[in-house]
Amino acid sequence: MTIEIAIDSIVPDNTAYTALVTLRRLGYSELTQVERSEIYRLDVEGRPAPAAVVKQLAHAEIIFNPNKHRLSYSAANGAADGAALWEALVSDRDDDTSGLLRLLQGPFGISALRSLKRGVAWRLHDGKGPAPQARVEWACRELLANPYSQTAVVRRPPARQPHEM
């Protein structure tokens, strides 16, 4: 089973703001907002309740701080119904998560965890609403992803449930 975790900042995100300003300067003058989420895709053994795994992860201060983050998750594959939103999921090609995996399995007690991948999801909005797929792909080529060291997948975001503390 795969559980996707999204961690969003509840404080102003300077990285997203810098991307907004830069994308405007690169030619997307209609851009009004850039959002960014840290994404963790957890492959877990068996069929544990996703909410239970997320609750354990929410106690991993190395990833999640409830004073500055909001956490949501999805255990289903596929996009939210009727979603007009596109997001770019950008990941490093050579990201070694083995140390983080051992830490989450050991001290944080997520024993069902078998592997994990991480990335950053970028969502763009302009005066008409969510940016169209072509604009998000353009933003990846121009700024959001380095084609030599990263992969970028433009997708519909999965339907996510908020984690209740």
**Tokens found for residue 154:** 């433009």
Q: Which of 41, 30, 162 is nearest to 101 (CA)?
A: 41
- Cβ atoms of 91 and 151 within 8 Å: the answer is yes
121: domain range?
2-162
Number of compact structural domains in the chain: 1
What was the pLDDT predicted at 84?
86
* CA dihedral for 78, 83, 86, 92, sign (positive or negative): negative
State the residue for tokens 């763009």.
124
- Cβ atoms of 143 and 27 within 8 Å: the answer is no
The secondary element (H helix, E strand) that includes residue 139 is helix 133-139
**Tokens found for residue 42:** 């957890």
Full pLDDT tens readout for the chain, 165 residues: 999 999 999 999 999 999 999 999 999 999 999 999 999 999 999 888 999 999 999 999 999 999 999 999 998 666 665 568 999 999 999 999 999 999 999 999 999 999 999 999 999 999 999 999 999 999 999 999 999 999 999 999 999 999 987
What was the pLDDT predicted at 4?
97
- Cβ atoms of 42 and 57 within 8 Å: the answer is yes
What was the pLDDT predicted at 79?
61
- pTM exceeds 0.75: yes
3-state secondary structure of 58: coil
CA dihedral 107, 164, 75, 137 (to 10 degrees): -100
